[in-house]
């Protein structure tokens, strides 16, 4: 039994046609697959680091509120929580900068080379 699926142009595609991944040579390229794996691993690593920092801050607020609420200088209202919060913001900005740098320096050049190799 053969099924057909309507396409946007109104023509039908046989139900036993090959999947789209076999039609695009870039998706089957081992260099591209390796690049995708490396990029995902790097992105998930940065995500894990960011989650540890944020949850560490929240857990410190929950379990050690006096330590974070201690004034930096006796008699002044600023506590250690304020610079820690700004430090988290700066750390987040740093992680974004690292990812952008790596994407521009490594990933973009490799993607461009893979596309050029795939063109006839």
Task: Note the pLDDT tens digit of each residue in 6-32.
Answer: 555 555 555 666 555 456 777 778 888
Which is higher by pLDDT, 56 or 118?
Answer: 56
Give the model's pLDDT for residue 27: 79
- What token pair was written down for 75? 């008699």
Give the model's pLDDT for residue 118: 78
- Residue found under tokens 């099924």: 3
Radius of gyration of the chain, Cα coordinates, nearest whole angstrom: 25
Query: Among candidates 56, 41, 53, which has minimal Cα distance to 94?
Result: 53
In the chain, DSSP assigns E strands to 4-6, 12-14
Q: What is the pTM of this model?
A: 0.68
Say how many residues make up the chain: 120
DSSP reduced 3-state for 94: helix
Give the model's pLDDT for residue 23: 67
Which is higher by pLDDT, 11 or 70?
Answer: 70
Which is higher by pLDDT, 4 or 53?
Answer: 53
As beta bridge partners, residue 71 has: 79
């Amino acid at each position: 039994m053969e099924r057909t699926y309507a396409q946007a142009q109104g023509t039908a595609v046989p139900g036993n046609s090959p999947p789209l991944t076999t039609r695009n040579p870039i998706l089957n390229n081992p260099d591209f697959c390796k690049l995708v794996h490396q990029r995902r691993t790097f992105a998930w690593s940065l995500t894990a680091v960011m989650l540890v920092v944020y949850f560490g801050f929240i857990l410190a607020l929950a379990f050690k509120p006096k330590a974070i609420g201690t004034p930096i200088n006796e008699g002044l209202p600023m506590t250690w929580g304020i610079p820690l919060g700004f430090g988290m913001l700066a750390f987040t900005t740093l992680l974004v900068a690292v990812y952008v740098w790596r994407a521009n320096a490594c990933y973009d050049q490799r993607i461009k080379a893979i596309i050029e190799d795939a063109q006839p």
